[in-house]
Amino acid sequence: MKRSLIGLAVVGLLFASVASAEVRKGDVLLDFAAGWTMQNMSDDAGGDDINVFFGVVRPGIALTDNIRVAGVAALLFENSDAADATVWALGVSGEYVFMPANQLNPYIGGMFAWASVDIDTPGSDTVDGWLLAPRIGLLYTLNTTNNLFAEYQYQFWGGDVDEVLDSGHMVLLGIEHKFKVGQ
């Protein structure tokens, strides 16, 4: 019985000592992530799938305790036997964090970006359009300034880009670093 109480006390102290990296209004955020994406090419472009691993840096700011926005700049190169492709996109993303003061924080969000796709095959041109990506994720507090996160995106392509890419899936794993402004 005495051992159980000591064990319970130690577990209680461990959970009590976990520092929260909760993000508050005005905090500046910087995400570093690695990920995988699979993009489905349209039937006109060959109908194949493109699988790519990549890295991401995403700067952002907390507008409120629950709402965050970030800039998005992406550049992707794919070299395969079928073709070489370059994709770039510029846009914004946002998310709503459900429980910002907890150690485990689910969130939902979305991304909108203008994109350009250049596939190096005979007769293909550079096409421009937009990318819309609903997102879901989970933040896990490491310490007072860092959170780990895992995120999934389903991606829709529009404009002339949908002549080349139909849709895609993306998985990100990363760390979010928080900077307190004005302190």
Instruction: Read off the DSSP letter of residue 60.
Output: E
Quote the domain boundaries for residue 96. 2-179
pLDDT of residue 15: 35
Of the chain, the end-to-end C-alpha distance in Å amounts to 47
CB 90 within 8 A of CB 130: no
pLDDT of residue 21: 55
Q: Residue 32 is encoded by which pair of tokens?
A: 């570093």
Q: Per the confidence metrics, is the pTM higher than 0.85?
A: no
The CATH number covering residue 174 comes to 2.40.160.20
Q: How many domains does the chain have?
A: 1
- Check whether 55 has a pLDDT greater than 60: yes
pLDDT of residue 156: 93
How many CB atoms within 10 Å of residue 161? 23
